[in-house]
Structure 1
């Protein structure tokens, strides 16, 4: 082995020790989260309803229904998940935390409510993002381990890549008929090779979701630095000094009606209605329910209802489109069930790599100890042994 590869092996091994446990937890929780929508749809009846011909009630009706049930609540986000799904209100309960309230979008009747922290998949998501540590700490622990993992995957490919073309075909398959240590070795190397490209994509999209500098770097790279990031993504603010022309109806209703008219093909709508901030009221129309890419958005003055800014999907830069795909790529739903299965398998393989790698290291360590404790035979001993085996008179 060359000095260069010895250095790579040292880095690969010890970086694996440093990040292995975190990588295992993050990959396993990511694997579980991949099919969270499908699992919850199968488990919970409140996630479905029958489509009505009457059409959606306006967001103000949803807010009024939640306010009646929870007088102290402020409705920060309002979701219309689809014509055969309930609407949802993300209600801020003050000291009591947040409550997700599900309503029939045709009648505004509350059908279910729950605290996010009591949902199994929300807990899985928080483990995946923060290891249940405080977000300011957990995001850096997970992010740092993710960066280390990318380095490990790249060094692993360099170390494993066969020199001779004749060995490559053999190196791409698992020898199931071999001893268990050989099978473990192949599981680590062969599966690691096949999962590397997907794993790196999942890692980079995760970093982009967690860290603004990574997201911005992807944005600039995709746009070749030709688009002003701040100008494209900065949200406008309502002018609190100009309240003379107050809207005659709730601005959230104006925003929702405008979005439905201008994005009629959208299956899902999200309205941002945080009264505690000076930002405008925003509404986004999403092409597919439960998917967060391919969105067209609008921002309205929260006092007058005046349209302040548009984010038309077709006019967005390549970098912004790519950043908005981060979540869908990260959970594997960007291409439907096929990419979900690919993301699931890649995450499962990534969770297995620290285990199979540790077993390989443990096996080599035992071999080294055994070799050191085994007594060496000298040349004279071997000659004496051969001499004693010679028959007299031979």
Structure 2
């Protein structure tokens, strides 16, 4: 009797959580599976990112800043991305207030000629991302709804697994496979779609949900880091300069930074230079060591007046200094979109997200069929 009461309670929790979060989970899952192949899809129509490589040095960082500031005056330059010899330089602008301004200006790395400008907040994938993180609602409202719906979806998965367990072990096989024939009614087929698909998707759904919660909640992020043995500052830290700011010295020094780093990091995929935000902050260079991966990047900080390398007590520093807990957090986004497993991982993430999107539909039909016989 007690066991039945427990299962009935779990069933009610599962039902009401499913009905209240189903639409949100469906939208987040569908937009998520589309986002997975963003890079591959964009490569089909982004010829402006390619240039004819020349046997000469790139234009200087200060020259790039001058061109970019003239093209978009009074706009904040977030960073400058230096890629391979056949890739255009990407100047990234980003401002959150008073409204989001997120655009990229592509330049020829050898001549400084402007090739193209892209609105990263618009277009198809801008639309998809807004749906994924805030349901196309205002940020303050939409992101809150998405965050807590995904947290509740985590509970849904656990309660679903409890309900999936059959009363008798001999009936286990029926929960592991579809047993359809010409006489199987649609209600039975829908039940199997919900339970069988739910079971096989559960592991991937837990991973996607967990990594999503790490990005959505600061407290979840912090607990995950501490629980895995972290002992550093888990946040991004930009060290302060050690010397007094000198405008001329900084401008001259920053021009030689990327050429020097290219000699040191010969196998690097790209270098993203971030100019100092003010007189006291250091220069940041993000060195990408792999295609489409973020976790193994090297975050390098330099005093803007001397170019002395500074070491922050943060998980965001050189990858070789990262311990297990640091790597767990740094891998989070790559795991979330499946990139950690290359193209195979992305396919798995795509299929898992698509199947997760089906669960609210089959669950709703299951409830509807029982309530309105």
TM-score (norm 2): 0.88
Tell me, in whole angstroms, the C-alpha distance in 2 between the residues paired with 1:21 and 1:244.
55
1:37-186 aligned at under 5 Å gives the runs 37-91=39-93, 97-177=101-181, 178-186=184-192
Q: Does 1:188 align with 2:194?
A: yes
1:246-261 aligned at under 5 Å gives the runs 247=249, 249-261=251-263
The corresponding residue for 1:209 is: 215
1:344-363 aligned at under 5 Å gives the runs 344-363=350-369
Assess if the C-alpha contact under 8 Å between 1:296 and 1:313 holds in 2: yes
Tell me, in whole angstroms, the C-alpha distance in 2 between the residues paired with 1:277 and 1:181.
67
The corresponding residue for 1:236 is: 239
Q: CA RMSD in A?
A: 2.5
Structure 1 residues 174 and 277: CA distance shift in structure 2, 3 A: farther
Tell me, in whole angstroms, the C-alpha distance in 1 between the residues paired with 2:370 and 2:138.
38
Tell me, in whole angstroms, the C-alpha distance in 2 between the residues paired with 1:49 and 1:331.
29
Q: Which SS does the other structure have where 2:92 is aligned? A: strand
Residue 166 of structure 1, CA deviation? 3.0
Assess if the C-alpha contact under 8 Å between 1:27 and 1:351 holds in 2: yes
1:295-306 aligned at under 5 Å gives the runs 295-306=297-308
Residue 95 of structure 1, CA deviation? 7.3
Tell me, in whole angstroms, the C-alpha distance in 2 between the residues paired with 1:245 and 1:106.
25
The corresponding residue for 1:294 is: 296
Q: Which SS does the other structure have where 1:284 is aligned? A: strand
Assess if the C-alpha contact under 8 Å between 2:89 and 2:107 holds in 1: yes
Residue 277 of structure 1, CA deviation? 7.7
Structure 1 residues 228 and 74: CA distance shift in structure 2, 3 A: closer
The corresponding residue for 1:381 is: none
Assess if the C-alpha contact under 8 Å between 2:30 and 2:353 holds in 1: yes
Tell me, in whole angstroms, the C-alpha distance in 1 between the residues paired with 2:255 and 2:291.
20
Residue 332 of structure 1, CA deviation? 1.1
Return the match for 2:277 from 264, 275, 278.
Answer: 275
Assess if the C-alpha contact under 8 Å between 2:81 and 2:273 holds in 1: yes
Tell me, in whole angstroms, the C-alpha distance in 2 between the residues paired with 1:111 and 1:320.
38
Structure 1 residues 253 and 14: CA distance shift in structure 2, 3 A: same
Structure 2 unaligned blocks of 5 or more: none
Q: Which SS does the other structure have where 1:2 is aligned? A: helix
Residue 218 of structure 1, CA deviation? 1.9
Q: Which SS does the other structure have where 1:271 is aligned? A: strand
Residue 83 of structure 1, CA deviation? 4.0
Residue 282 of structure 1, CA deviation? 0.5
Assess if the C-alpha contact under 8 Å between 2:147 and 2:213 holds in 1: yes
Residue 71 of structure 1, CA deviation? 3.5
1:296-335 aligned at under 5 Å gives the runs 296-309=298-311, 311-335=317-341
Residue 221 of structure 1, CA deviation? 1.9
Tell me, in whole angstroms, the C-alpha distance in 2 between the residues paired with 1:109 and 1:323.
39
Tell me, in whole angstroms, the C-alpha distance in 1 between the residues paired with 2:279 and 2:137.
27
Tell me, in whole angstroms, the C-alpha distance in 2 between the residues paired with 1:265 and 1:104.
22
Tell me, in whole angstroms, the C-alpha distance in 2 between the residues paired with 1:176 and 1:228.
54
Residue 245 of structure 1, CA deviation? 9.2
Structure 1 residues 131 and 274: CA distance shift in structure 2, 3 A: farther
Structure 1 residues 167 and 253: CA distance shift in structure 2, 3 A: farther
Q: Which SS does the other structure have where 1:247 is aligned? A: helix
Structure 1 residues 172 and 105: CA distance shift in structure 2, 3 A: farther
- 1:328-373 deviation digits (Å, cap 9, x = unpaired): 1111111111110110011111111111100000111123xxxxxx
Assess if the C-alpha contact under 8 Å between 2:284 and 2:301 holds in 1: yes
Assess if the C-alpha contact under 8 Å between 2:150 and 2:209 holds in 1: yes
Q: Which SS does the other structure have where 1:298 is aligned? A: strand
Give aligned pairs, total. Answer: 363
Residue 2 of structure 1, CA deviation? 0.7
